[in-house]
Amino acid sequence: MVEGETFIEVDGVEKVFDVRRKVGFMRRERRTVRAVDSLSFTVPRGEMVGYIGPNGAGKSTTIKMLTGILTPSAGRLRVAGIDPSRERTRLAHRIGVVFGQRTTLWWDLPLIDSYRLMRRMYRIPDRRYEENLARCVELLELGELLDVPVRQLSLGQRMRGDIAAALLHDPEVLYLDEPTIGLDVVSKVKVRGFLRDLNAEKGTTVLLTTHDLTDIEQLCRRVMVIDHGRLMYDGELDGLHQVGGGAVERTLVVDLERELPPLEIEFARVVKVEGARQWLAFPADRSAAPLVAAIAQRCPLVDLSVREPDIEAVIARMYVRDASVPGPRP
Ligand SMILES: Nc1ncnc2c1ncn2[C@@H]1O[C@H](COP(=O)(O)OP(=O)(O)OP(=O)(O)O)[C@@H](O)[C@H]1O
């Protein structure tokens, strides 16, 4: 398969769960949940795509079908030409998965022991294992952590350890489910930088699920939005920002040296004031730097932070959008 060729193919895929719920002492009610509904998209080899949506939208279910953990109720699914649920083991050698909220590492063992076990499980040739491990250790700064039991690692360290584990066998595609959840700013920057380099150097196809729009902004040109199991949007991130007729906003929170009336600054508006603290909303596609500079000219700043719009806010806007919004790609 060559670069640019379709690597992931999802065609009219559905996933319906049968759920039984206890409603009385003896009675159980049966109902079905359509977690994924008429889902179709393709991803070419080497692309990094954001896959976003509110809680319960169907993202994890999609990823589980792409890895072969779940079988679709209907439709056709192929990854590298393989039907995941039929040939899960064969596919496992070609994919890597990171679930941010769970670890694939052995909790009580030092990190390096998990890697050694994976080397055996995937039968990774010695040279490839050594090279990939060395690369991950260097770029993800794992050197000091290799002999530490996983349970003693911080969340950010553990996440970097998990990403390395998913890459030791050189997967052609990496599924990332919330890889930066709960990480501090420094760890987020490290993880994003690593993923960007991985994609650029190795051409790894990446499907990234996240609630953090900055992950998407910094890594993906294309974004797919899913809600109630259906694809609501598939296109450039910039297009998503315009959805709903107005750009999504970020918020600059400033602690001023003294209390002031709401600041009046071009392209920003004060949305809240509490003592010397003010919240200024500004378009998400503009830099905060000139805004900070303009405020600092009026009053010295004690502290500041920028809050990103969350995915829910972006999607909420999609429901009030006009008919001109681009729909799913053909
Ligand atoms: N094994 C299951 N049995 C029954 N219902 C399920 C199962 N797995 C998922 N669901 C339901 O399917 C829907 C989609 O769930 P899914 O976990 O795919 O959403 P998600 O977009 O990943 O959400 P989140 O952002 O909260 O992780 C939800 O209504 C969920 O309750």
Ligand 1: nearest atom to the Cα of 15:
12
One-letter amino acid of 236: E
Pocket test for ligand 1, best of 13, 17, 52 (most atoms within 8 A of CB): 17
Residue whose C-alpha is closest to residue 291's, from 301, 282, 299? 282
Ligand 1 atom 11: the closest Cα is on which residue? 35
Q: Residues 228, 57: contact at Cβ < 8 Å?
A: yes
* C-beta 56 within 6 A of ligand 1: yes
Distance 318 CA to ligand 1 centre (A): 21
Distance 61 CA to ligand 1 centre (A): 6
Distance 58 CA to ligand 1 centre (A): 6
pLDDT score, position 246: 53
108 token code pair: 């009580």
Q: Residues 278, 254: contact at Cβ < 8 Å?
A: yes
**Global ipTM:** 0.96
Q: Is the pLDDT of residue 311 over 70?
A: no
Distance 101 CA to ligand 1 centre (A): 14
Residues 6 or more apart from 254 whose CB is under 8 A from it?
277, 278, 280, 292, 295, 301, 303, 304
Please identify which residue in the block is written with the tokens 């998503």. Answer: 240
pLDDT tens digit sequence for 289-306: 999 999 999 999 999 998
In Å, what is the CA distance from 256 to each residue of 136, 264, 276, 299, 307? Answer: 42, 14, 5, 7, 17
| Global pTM value | 0.77
pLDDT tens digit sequence for 213-247: 788 888 998 999 998 999 988 998 777 766 544 55
* C-beta 107 within 6 A of ligand 1: no
Pocket test for ligand 1, best of 14, 20, 31, 60 (most atoms within 8 A of CB): 60
DSSP conformation class of 143: G
pLDDT score, position 237: 79
* C-beta 35 within 6 A of ligand 1: yes
Ligand 1 atom 29: the closest Cα is on which residue? 56
* C-beta 61 within 6 A of ligand 1: yes
Residues belonging to the chain: 330
Distance 225 CA to ligand 1 centre (A): 15
Distance 33 CA to ligand 1 centre (A): 9
* C-beta 157 within 6 A of ligand 1: no
Looking at the chain, which runs of residues are DSSP E strands? Answer: 6-22, 28-44, 48-52, 74-79, 95-99, 173-177, 205-209, 222-227, 230-236, 249-256, 269-274, 277-283, 301-307
pLDDT tens digit sequence for 85-108: 999 989 999 999 998 788 889 999
Band of pLDDT at residue 308, cut at 50, 70 and 90: confident
Ligand 1 atom 8: the closest Cα is on which residue? 61
Residue whose C-alpha is closest to residue 224's, from 209, 212, 214, 211? 209
Write down the H helix ranges in 106-154: 111-121, 126-139
> Beta-carbon neighbour count of residue 310 at 10 Å?
14
